[in-house]
Structure 1
Amino acid sequence: MIEVLEVLILVYFTVLNTFYAVAVSVATRELSYHIRRRQSVGLTELLNREFYKPVSILVPAYNEEETIQASVDSFLALQYPEYEVIVVNDGSRDGTLATLIRAYDLIETNRNASKTLATRPVRTIYRSRTRPNLTVIDKENGGKADALNVGLTYATFPLFCAVDADSLLDAEALLRLARRFVENDRLIAAGGSVRVMNGSVLKDGRVTELQLPQRWIERVQVVEYARAFLAGRTTFSALGLLLIISGAFGLFKRSVVIEAGGFLEGTVGEDMELVMRLHRRMRDQRQPYDVEFDLDPVCWTQAPDSWKVLRSQRDRWQRGLWEGLLHHRRMWFNPKYGRIGMIAIPYYLLFEALSPLIEVGGYAFMLILALTGHLNLTFVLLFLLLALLYGTVVSVAALSIELFMRVHYARPQHRLQLLLTALLENFGFRQWHAWVRFRATLKLGQKKGQWGAMTRQKITARK
């Protein structure tokens, strides 16, 4: 029995790391293609094109007093022919609304909802006297999904972009992502890259100088984001298996989402659940469609800078992953849903949702073997090689591709420090992270649909 468990654990990590290796290879090819594409299609050409689709930018906000103005400034500075920004204040208890009123000279106005989704009551609608494409909606607290649904009902354009209130968009980001909807009529949802802006220099709502955060806890998240978006989502998108579009930056066809019922309340993973529901609905109706990820557009986000906040965030992410998978369990291993049901969902179930249980179980298994005198040195070495060393090599490879092909840190020592972080994250941080996700899995069903506490640093910028 012990030998069987040892073999199963080793096979699990062998399969997982084989996927990582393939992902790095696919990501390298896709990144090269995107770099050539970006160079061949410049901003001037994009702006001069006659065909584009207007976009509504939805910004759900809850207790975002410290970051909301810098974020809205970045959205208002986007280079796009026609768009509106709709900030939905979800009953914030801090000065979020007061900050918006003061910064943008807001006054009360009347505006009717074009489509109806069941939401919490709206208190007041504001328009800006200085920025005509900015609307602020103040509503009773109902959670992020409810805030997004309110934004959907008041949006007026065919595409909507869902962004986080603590995020900044590159000036060209929306233009480059929306281009995909003009080029591909089948496209119903697309996501862009999200990167950590902690420590960077901002000017006029834009990241003008990329700098490495001083704290190790922030640096390790730079590595995580690079690996997740470069090696993970790039590969899944290229294979037609994409299940997640980040809540920090995603673009959707508004009519399709409204017909699907909007964002689902009662889950902390409303972004993944929506994408899974769109896959399910389109395949049930046998309609052709695409869901894609684009490396090119970049959204900058503020990563947690304390262990407490990071633990809370990863707890929510793990519970959200399970909630989305369980809500759509009908799709598990179901040939009716094609590669989504037979490949994408099984991967997320076995190698994402269950991975902390298996990893923590593997460490516990080794401890039990050691205490009972049955520890097999060969198993220990192979387990550490597959679970730690090989994962480290893949992380360094993914980060190296990101650093030297796409991201330009001004100081060479910053690149070396990030590579060192990629080496060290597997020894301590990874085990801590697995434990947090392990505990989150055991808490499924608790604190459903809550925003969760996220302490923000005040965003400062150079003028």
Structure 2
Amino acid sequence: MYNFLFYLLLEVLGVFFLILSFTVIVIYFVTMIMSALELRDHLRRNRFADYQDIITSPIAPGVSIIAPAYNEAQNIVQNAKSLMSLHYGKFEVIIVNDGSKDNTLEKLIEAFELEKTNYAYNYQIDCKTVRGVYKSRNESFSKLIIVDKKNGGKADALNAGINISSQEIIACIDVDCILSHESLTRMVRPFMEETNRKVIAVGGVIGIANNCDVQDGMVTKYRIPTSLLGRFQVIEYFRAFLMGRMAWTRINGLMLISGAFGFFNRELVLAVGGYFPKTVGEDMELVVRMRRYMEEKDIPYKVGFVPDPLCWTEVPEDEVVLSRQRNRWIRGTIETLQLHQKVRFNPKYGVMGMLSYPYWSLFEKSAPIIELLGLLYTIILILIGDFSAFYFIALYAMLYLLSLLVTSFSILYEQIAFNNYKEKDDLKNLIFTVLVEPFLIHPKIVLWGLKGHLDFIKGKGGWGQMIRTGFKKSEDRKKFEAETNS
């Protein structure tokens, strides 16, 4: 009896993995087609666009840029100046000092001639106690607002900034990100284009600034990172942004906007209660909650995405730091999906309920577990002598080649649309990374995902320490190269 059940289970698992493999193939091909169509349409729409019109337009929405800061004394002044130099008509920069233990606040006060105001702070969204609101005595810095509060984490700091914001659109960013001068004009355009639907949020591409030249708050020379882990993240971001999110935007099924660079309708954010501080996936959770609100109110809406490289950040090139990041991502995904289980396969929630939620559950949340089960299944087949080497090699080769195809197309999309990486060596190194990624890096990603599941079961919270080395400025690079050559 037990033998019968055992072999029946193996047969069921075999059919499951076979169906899953072909499902993955179909999804990848559909994703490539939809993302290509969406990218094509975007390029056509923007071919003759004049973004200067948005800057001077009296109907262009105002933007409140909110940047939480915790122990950022080393770069906070330069980052604030960079944000205030963005090209846009009506915007404000709100930096939230989230209980920093260093002299972040003192550096800001000194650099921008700040003084504490008698601002009557309104706690529209719950957040930790605000100790003070600072404005500059210098009219040159009139766009800058500094909020000093007790430490509560990134989501809590964003909520504090939302409470004090005064513009129609809020732009939630990481304070150490580098934004293109055109980032505001390009990101607000989707809010202005739609007439029959309400645009509730817009996401943008995150570029990787490791090994790039940075001068005066701008990326002046694009290079891929020198490490294998850094190059892997370049192609991973290509797949995620230029392929995955573009495809989901095509069918208005996008459930995630990067917390490093997201624009939201302020009125709606207030209506749903702001960010949820008790999850490490606050960016995804807010988007899902906003979508639920619109679906339940039966209001036509859209979550937009701009594929232009407008925001650049440093990614971890150390395995320990990268593992913490991926651990946090998987825990945030699990938390969000559990908080919004009502959406799952619920036709009331349209594309999100019938396609997006199931996809994220199976291919984002459960992917590490499924891959582990696949490995165990293969080992069991080998042990009982029921293993077909030909079938295994053929299936693995097919999925490997599919992976190469998808990643190659994502690199092709970047080259056709933006062509930031012009050096031949950069492309050669990216192609090499594509070839070795499934063998050298993907197994580690699976292990980190499994640990994220285990940590979630244990109830582990928090972000983990993210260590950044900082961007290398152009003049520093030239000095370094001169010393090396001599």
User: How does the TM-score come out when normalised to structure 2?
Assistant: 0.90
Aligned to 2:76: 68
What is the RMSD of the two structures over their aligned residues, measured on CA atoms? 1.9
**Equivalent pair of 1:61/1:88 in contact (CA under 8 Å):** yes
> For each residue in 1:46-72, what CA deviation from the matched residue of structure 2 results, as whole angstroms up to 9, or x when unmatched?
334332011100101223344434433
- Residue of structure 2 aligned with 1:109, choices 80, 102, 117: 117
| Percent identity for Structure 1 against Structure 2 | 37
Aligned to 1:149: 159
Q: Indicate the larger mover: 131-140 or 107-116.
A: 107-116
Q: Indicate the larger mover: 104-113 or 290-299.
A: 104-113
Q: Distance in 2 between matches of 1:421 and 1:226?
A: 13
Distance apart, 1:448 and its partner CA = 6.1
> For each residue in 1:314-347, what CA deviation from the matched residue of structure 2 results, as whole angstroms up to 9, or x when unmatched?
0000000010000000111111111111111011
Cα pair distance change 1:406/1:297, threshold 3 Å: closer
Distance apart, 1:460 and its partner CA = 4.2
**Equivalent pair of 2:212/2:471 in contact (CA under 8 Å):** no
Amino acid at match of 1:437: G
Amino acid at match of 1:101: I
Amino acid at match of 1:155: S
1:47 aligns with 2:55: yes
After TM superposition, the structure 1 = structure 2 runs for residues 136-215 of structure 1, keeping only pairs within 5 Å, are: 136-185=146-195, 186-215=198-227
Task: Specify the SS of the correspondent of 1:338.
Answer: helix
After TM superposition, the structure 1 = structure 2 runs for residues 59-458 of structure 1, keeping only pairs within 5 Å, are: 59-114=67-122, 116-128=124-136, 129=138, 130-185=140-195, 186-296=198-308, 298-444=310-456, 450-458=462-470
- Residue of structure 2 aligned with 1:459, choices 459, 462, 471: 471
Q: Indicate the larger mover: 29-38 or 412-421.
A: 29-38
> For each residue in 1:199-249, what CA deviation from the matched residue of structure 2 results, as whole angstroms up to 9, or x when unmatched?
111121111211121111111111111110011000001111110011011
Q: Distance in 2 between matches of 1:29 and 1:413?
A: 29
Say how many residue pairs are matched.
463
Amino acid at match of 1:6: G
Q: Distance in 2 between matches of 1:10 and 1:102?
A: 64
**Equivalent pair of 2:371/2:446 in contact (CA under 8 Å):** yes
**Structure with the larger RCO, 1 or 2 (CA within 8 Å, 6+ apart):** 1
Amino acid at match of 1:141: N
Cα pair distance change 1:74/1:14, threshold 3 Å: farther
Cα pair distance change 1:239/1:95, threshold 3 Å: same
Distance apart, 1:197 and its partner CA = 0.9
Cα pair distance change 1:63/1:6, threshold 3 Å: farther
> For each residue in 1:274-309, what CA deviation from the matched residue of structure 2 results, as whole angstroms up to 9, or x when unmatched?
111111111111122111111135211110121111
Q: Distance in 2 between matches of 1:376 and 1:124?
A: 68
Q: Distance in 2 between matches of 1:67 and 1:454?
A: 16
Distance apart, 1:36 and its partner CA = 2.8
> For each residue in 1:125-181, what CA deviation from the matched residue of structure 2 results, as whole angstroms up to 9, or x when unmatched?
222335111111121111111111100111111110011122111110111111111
Distance apart, 1:452 and its partner CA = 2.6
Q: Distance in 2 between matches of 1:259 and 1:171?
A: 31
Distance apart, 1:87 and its partner CA = 0.8
Cα pair distance change 1:351/1:260, threshold 3 Å: same
Cα pair distance change 1:243/1:422, threshold 3 Å: same
Amino acid at match of 2:87: Q
Task: Specify the SS of the correspondent of 2:456.
Answer: coil
Distance apart, 1:94 and its partner CA = 3.4
Aligned to 2:5: none
**Equivalent pair of 1:87/1:151 in contact (CA under 8 Å):** yes
Aligned to 2:65: 57
Task: Specify the SS of the correspondent of 1:323.
Answer: helix
**Equivalent pair of 2:276/2:285 in contact (CA under 8 Å):** yes
Cα pair distance change 1:415/1:95, threshold 3 Å: farther
Cα pair distance change 1:199/1:29, threshold 3 Å: same
Choose 1 or 2 for highest CA Rg: 2
Q: Distance in 2 between matches of 1:384 and 1:282?
A: 42
Cα pair distance change 1:95/1:377, threshold 3 Å: farther
Aligned to 1:35: 43
**Equivalent pair of 1:70/1:168 in contact (CA under 8 Å):** no
The gaps in structure 2 that reach 5 residues or longer are: 1-7, 476-486
Cα pair distance change 1:103/1:211, threshold 3 Å: farther
**Equivalent pair of 1:172/1:297 in contact (CA under 8 Å):** no
Q: Distance in 1 between matches of 2:458 and 2:104?
A: 27
Q: Deviating runs (4+, > 6 A) in structure 1? A: none
Q: Distance in 1 between matches of 2:32 and 2:155?
A: 33
Cα pair distance change 1:105/1:385, threshold 3 Å: farther
Cα pair distance change 1:37/1:349, threshold 3 Å: same
